[in-house]
């Protein structure tokens, strides 16, 4: 019994000791740190924990803004009690924007230990003391960065962004927000982080985003053969020079002139290669670049010193200079001299070159020269240029004149270009012109021309020589032969050209007679401006010419000549425009405008367009025509010399015709003509029909008349009326007693009946009057009326009595069986009444004569 109570007492004491150990066990020496967004926690066990044989559970709790955001447990086995324990965790929130508190407490056998420990990782608000932070931070491009915004209590957050990049915005608390964004460089002056509230207020900060150094291409050389000088390229811009300058070291020695990307160091120059290392470093890191070189072959000389001139002549000068580095005198050098007009002269000389002579200079010319040199053996690079020096060469006789000619009617103008300053070699005092006729005459004519005149006019063909004079002498003679005007020149076909960009590209075939080249000239056609020209060598057959002032729409004449012994020969000639003028709204260009209608075709005519009204090359014409304002129809021609166009197959009606000239810039000069067309085919048909009817009626009338005349002659012959004149006292002329008969309408012979005339003074049976006499005359047979001889004999013949010696039928003669019974024999039938020749003659029975003649009385011998 005593033993039982003893054991119970021991157990109670052990239990009390165990509870005392658990209550005293816990973490100690707690430390909390961070690396970017990672929380690092380290601690040790209390000394009382070592007596425990149970595992220990450590509870880790993370709080942000007094709110638990994460918890975790760490078990420590009994064998590890007494060692240092660690735990890490990556926070989802920007740690710069919110303070992170770590609480650590031990638990043994589900019994809490003594109160645990806690540590707080502060944010950067206290450091910057601004609503937006960090401020003026230098951040590396490509990294992930967080920016914090703490809005005042009386404001509500709206948005955050970095130069427009909104990134990922996280809410930490009601008034605390974070912006997480991948950084990109914007500009060297920095990027702006803005935090905006809903009331429109803005809070911001500036950060600098950049790169580590990117220098490259190290190159080392020597200039004085006593030191090394290295240069390099910076590479990409670090973008943080305002906050973190890049520092440089050459083989471990700091570079003083690193801002110029150049670094030097005194070394001993010897033969053989060696390595040179340059280190570049900034806040983000460093880079090393190297170069291997034998400096004895990389000599970069200093510029020549003290350049001067001497022994200046018309076409040459002597230059001299010196060296500031003594070692240069032992080097084999090559020097390059540049003069002010851009020409180069390279001279290779011996050791220590320090003088040169320039030749082929222009007389009376201002020059400016400079010199640079380099090693001839193992050439590395040229030195810097020396200072410039100026000099003026002496004068000389002028160069030969550039002479040409221009035809103006029957005269020829000899022209020459004014000598430039580099050609006159002094002030020109005048010109001398001499010429001789090309007809074999040896007589020379000479005339002085003032310096301000550059042309001379003469008549006919001649050989002309022109020279220029100045105070130093005369120029070489310039000779040109003026040819006689040929028909080839006047009849040459002038094609219209169009230039481009104010110029004209010309090309032609080589000519075998062009022994001294070609001449291209041009001048305005409608103005009295002088000719301009260009002379080319025989090897060239193309050129681009451009007048000095080619106004748009200005017409030029361009000619190509072959230069040969004697007079130049014309090869081509063109008229056109270097710059065409866009046609304006000019109307009524074609005046007068007329038309000709040929059936259903209408031909529109116009006069040639004057050259003064041609702002561009005319490539043809277009004729628009429409009927009653319908859709117009066009007819075109590509002949620029055309003066008419024809619209075909037109119907009658009112037409509008418009003529325009076609150019590359469009049509212009619209001229309109209104025409009312008639149906000429209908009128022609009417006229033809009327003509046919008229001809038919005429033929019918003629046939009817001839038929009636035949009937009349056959059935109603005209009986001559006796003339009551004194037969014996009236003079009688000899008349052919027989008259040849005419063919009748049926082919039979009709006898011509003589007309019997009655004198007005001797009426016959008191039954005839003057009117009846006229009636008798008018009713005579046609042959008798129309034969002047018969009329003359009829008028002049008179009959003395009332009887006629006419043969009559013999009563005893047997009757002709073929003769009609009612026909009476031919003979005279006395006229009983006067109305036989009157209006009632048709009622009389006709007297039909079959044959025989009416005898005319003959004059007695």
pLDDT tens, residue by residue, 390-437: 999 999 999 999 999 998 888 899 999 999 988 999 999 999 999 998
CB neighbourhood size of 594 (10 A): 13
Q: Quick check: is 637 in a domain?
A: yes
Task: Dig out the tokens for 388 from the structure.
Answer: 């410039």
Q: What is the strand order of the sheet 666-677 is part of?
A: 633-637, 620-627, 653-663, 666-677
Q: Quick check: is 103 in a domain?
A: yes
Q: Quick check: is 516 in a domain?
A: yes
638 Cβ contact list (under 8 Å, min separation 6): 619, 620
pLDDT tens, residue by residue, 492-538: 666 788 888 889 999 999 999 999 999 999 999 888 888 999 999 99
Helix, strand and coil content of the chain, in percent to the nearest 5, comes to 15, 40, 45
Residues 187 and 173 in one domain: yes
Residues 178 and 154 in one domain: yes
Distance CA(278)–CA(183), nearest Å, equals: 29
Task: List beta partners, residue 339.
Answer: 369
Q: How far apart, in Å, do the first and last CA atoms of the chain sit? A: 238
pLDDT at 21 over 80: no
What's the pLDDT at 42? Answer: 92
What's the pLDDT at 685? Answer: 64
Q: Quick check: is 350 in a domain?
A: yes
pLDDT at 626 over 70: yes
Residues 569 and 512 in one domain: yes
What's the pLDDT at 472? Answer: 92
| DSSP single-letter state for residue 215 | -
Residues 602 and 626 in one domain: yes
Looking at the chain, the whole-number percentage of residues with pLDDT higher than 70 is 76
Looking at the chain, the whole-number percentage of residues with pLDDT higher than 90 is 37
Q: Quick check: is 741 in a domain?
A: no
pLDDT at 135 over 80: yes
What's the pLDDT at 217? Answer: 94
Task: Dig out the tokens for 9 from the structure.
Answer: 């007492």
What's the pLDDT at 785? Answer: 44
Residues 625 and 640 in one domain: yes
Cβ pair 531, 404 in contact under 8 A: yes
For every residue of 330-376, DSSP letters joined together read: GSEEEEEEEETTS-EEEEEEEET--EEEE-SPPTT-EEEEEEEEEES
Residues 227 and 195 in one domain: no
Distance CA(123)–CA(696), nearest Å, equals: 132
Residues 46 and 114 in one domain: yes
| Max CA pair span of the chain | 238
pLDDT tens, residue by residue, 289-303: 999 989 989 999 999
Residues 29 and 117 in one domain: yes
pLDDT tens, residue by residue, 558-604: 999 999 998 999 999 999 999 988 776 667 788 788 999 988 899 99
156 Cβ contact list (under 8 Å, min separation 6): 197, 198, 199
pLDDT tens, residue by residue, 63-79: 987 888 899 999 888 88
How large is the average pLDDT for residues 628-636?
88
How large is the average pLDDT for residues 210-225?
93
The 3-class secondary structure across 486-553, one letter per residue, is: CHHHHCCCCEEEECECCEEEEECCCCCCCCCEEEEEEEECCCCCCCEEEEECCCCCEEEECCCCCCCC
845 Cβ contact list (under 8 Å, min separation 6): none
Closest C-alpha among 243, 37, 206 to residue 132: 206
pLDDT at 758 over 50: no
- Using DSSP's 3-state secondary structure scheme, residue 809 falls into coil
Domain final residue, candidates 654, 680, 706: 680
What's the pLDDT at 580? Answer: 87
Cβ pair 769, 759 in contact under 8 A: no
For every residue of 105-146, DSSP letters joined together read: EEEETTEE-S--EEEEE--SHHHH-SSEE--SEEEETTSEEE
Distance CA(672)–CA(623), nearest Å, equals: 10
Residues 287 and 321 in one domain: no
pLDDT at 7 over 70: no
Q: How much is the pTM?
A: 0.51
Residues 104 and 146 in one domain: no
Distance CA(606)–CA(608), nearest Å, equals: 7
pLDDT at 715 over 50: yes
Q: Return the higher-pLDDT residue of 459 and 279.
A: 279
Domain final residue, candidates 375, 393, 411: 393
Distance CA(560)–CA(489), nearest Å, equals: 12
Task: List beta partners, residue 203.
Answer: 195
Cβ pair 147, 183 in contact under 8 A: no
pLDDT tens, residue by residue, 724-742: 444 444 444 444 444 344 4
| Domain enclosing residue 656, as ranges | 594-680
pLDDT tens, residue by residue, 786-842: 444 434 443 333 444 443 344 444 444 444 444 444 434 344 344 433 333 333 333
Taking all residues of the chain, what is their mean pLDDT, rounded to a whole number?
79
Distance CA(342)–CA(356), nearest Å, equals: 18
Q: Quick check: is 77 in a domain?
A: yes
Task: Dig out the tokens for 8 from the structure.
Answer: 């119970």
Q: Quick check: is 19 in a domain?
A: no
pLDDT at 763 over 50: no
Residues 49 and 101 in one domain: yes
What's the pLDDT at 778? Answer: 39
Residues 335 and 311 in one domain: yes
What's the pLDDT at 796? Answer: 38
Distances (CA, A) of 236 to 183, 208, 214, 281, 782: 17, 16, 6, 14, 133
For every residue of 619-679, DSSP letters joined together read: -EEEEEEEETT---EEEEE--TT--EEEE-SPPSEEEEEEEEEEETTEEEEEEEEEEEE--
**Location of structure tokens 């401006």:** 529
Distances (CA, A) of 587 to 608, 632, 638, 671: 15, 18, 21, 6
Distance CA(745)–CA(715), nearest Å, equals: 13
Handedness of CA 709, 710, 712, 718 (dihedral sign): positive
What's the pLDDT at 216? Answer: 94
Domain CATH number, residue 272: 2.60.40.10
Domain final residue, candidates 481, 507, 526: 481
CB neighbourhood size of 127 (10 A): 12
Q: Domain tally for the chain? A: 7
């Amino acid at each position: 019994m005593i033993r039982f109570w003893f054991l119970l007492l021991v157990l109670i004491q052990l239990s009390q000791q165990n509870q005392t150990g658990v209550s005293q066990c816990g973490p100690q020496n707690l430390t909390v740190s961070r690396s970017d967004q990672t929380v690092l926690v380290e601690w040790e066990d209390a000394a009382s924990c070592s007596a425990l044989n149970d595992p220990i559970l450590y509870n880790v709790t993370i709080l942000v803004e007094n709110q638990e955001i994460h918890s975790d447990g760490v078990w420590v086995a009994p064998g590890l009690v007494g060692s240092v324990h660690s735990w890490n965790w990556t926070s989802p929130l920007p740690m710069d924007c919110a303070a992170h508190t770590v609480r650590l407490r031990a638990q043994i056998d589900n019994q809490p230990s003594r109160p645990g420990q806690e540590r707080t990782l502060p944010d950067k608000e206290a450091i910057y003391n601004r609503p937006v932070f960090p401020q003026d931070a230098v951040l590396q491009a490509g990294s992930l960065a967080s920016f914090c915004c703490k809005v005042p209590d009386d404001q509500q957050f709206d948005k955050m962004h970095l130069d427009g990049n909104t990134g990922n915005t996280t809410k930490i608390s009601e008034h605390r927000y974070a912006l997480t964004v991948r950084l990109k460089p914007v500009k060297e002056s920095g990027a702006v982080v803005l935090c905006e509230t809903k009331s429109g207020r803005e809070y911001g900060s500036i950060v600098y985003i950049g790169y580590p150094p990117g220098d490259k291409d190290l190159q080392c050389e020597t200039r004085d053969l006593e030191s090394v000088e290295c240069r390099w390229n910076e590479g990409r811009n670090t973008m943080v020079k305002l906050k973190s300058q890049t520092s440089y070291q050459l083989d471990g020695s700091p570079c003083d002139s690193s801002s110029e990307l150049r670094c030097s160091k005194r070394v001993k120059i010897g033969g053989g290669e060696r390595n040179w290392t340059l280190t570049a470093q900034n806040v983000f890191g460093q880079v090393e670049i190297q170069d291997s070189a034998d400096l004895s072959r990389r000599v970069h000389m200093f510029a020549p010193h003290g350049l001067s001139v001497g022994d200046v002549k018309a076409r040459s000068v002597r230059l001299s200079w010196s060296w500031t580095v003594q070692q240069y005198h032992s080097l084999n050098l090559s020097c390059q001299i540049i003069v002010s007009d851009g020409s180069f002269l390279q001279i290779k000389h011996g050791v220590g070159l320090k003088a040169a002579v320039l030749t082929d200079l222009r007389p009376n010319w201002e020059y400016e020269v400079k010199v640079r040199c380099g090693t001839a053996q193992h050439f590395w690079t040229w030195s810097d240029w020396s200072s410039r020096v100026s000099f003026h060469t002496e004068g000389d006789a002028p160069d030969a004149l550039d002479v040409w000619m221009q035809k103006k009617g029957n005269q020829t103008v000899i022209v020459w270009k004014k000598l430039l300053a580099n050609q006159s070699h002094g002030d020109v005092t005048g010109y001398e012109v001499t010429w001789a006729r090309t007809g074999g005459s040896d007589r020379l004519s000479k005339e002085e021309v003032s310096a301000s005149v550059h042309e001379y006019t003469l008549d006919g063909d001649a050989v002309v020589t022109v020279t220029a004079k100045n105070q130093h002498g005369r120029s070489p003679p310039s000779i040109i032969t003026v040819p006689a005007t040929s028909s080839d020149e006047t009849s040459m076909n002038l094609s219209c050209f169009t230039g481009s960009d104010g110029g004209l590209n010309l090309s032609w075939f080589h000519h075998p007679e062009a022994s001294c080249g070609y001449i291209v000239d041009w001048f305005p056609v409608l103005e009295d401006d002088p000719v301009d020209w260009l002379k080319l060598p025989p090897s060239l057959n193309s050129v681009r010419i451009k007048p000095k002032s080619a106004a748009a729409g200005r017409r030029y004449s361009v000619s190509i000549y072959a230069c040969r012994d004697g007079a130049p020969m014309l090869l081509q000639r063109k008229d056109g425009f270097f710059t065409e003028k866009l046609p304006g709204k000019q109307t009524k260009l074609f005046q007068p405008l007329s038309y000709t209608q040929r059936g259903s075709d209408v031909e529109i005519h116009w006069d040639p367009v004057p050259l003064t009204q041609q702002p561009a090359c005319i490539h043809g014409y277009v004729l628009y025509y429409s009927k009653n304002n319908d859709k117009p129809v066009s007819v075109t021609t590509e002949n620029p010399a055309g003066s008419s166009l024809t619209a075909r197959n037109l119907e009658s009606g009112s037409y509008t015709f418009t003529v325009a000239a076609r150019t590359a810039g469009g049509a212009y000069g619209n001229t309109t003509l209104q025409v009312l067309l008639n149906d000429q085919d209908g009128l022609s048909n009417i006229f033809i029909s009327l003509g046919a009817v008229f001809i038919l009626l005429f033929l019918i009338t003629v046939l009817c008349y001839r038929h009636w005349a035949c009937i009349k002659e056959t059935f109603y012959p005209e009986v001559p009326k006796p003339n009551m004149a004194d037969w014996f006292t009236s003079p009688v002329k000899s008349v052919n007693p027989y008259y040849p008969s005419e063919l009748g309408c049926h082919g039979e012979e009709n006898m011509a009946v003589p007309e019997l005339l009655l004198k007005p003074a001797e009426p016959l049976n008191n039954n005839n009057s003057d009117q009846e006499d006229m009636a008798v005359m008018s009713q005579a047979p046609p042959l008798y009326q129309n034969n002047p001889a018969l009329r003359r004999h009829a008028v002049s013949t008179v009959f003395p009595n009332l009887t006629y010696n006419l043969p009559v039928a013999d009563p005893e003669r047997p009757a002709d069986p073929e003769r009609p019974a009612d026909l009476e024999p031919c003979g005279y039938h006395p006229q009983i009444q006067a109305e036989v020749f009157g209006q009632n003659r048709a009622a009389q029975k006709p007297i039909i004569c079959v044959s025989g003649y009416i005898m005319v009385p003959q004059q007695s011998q």
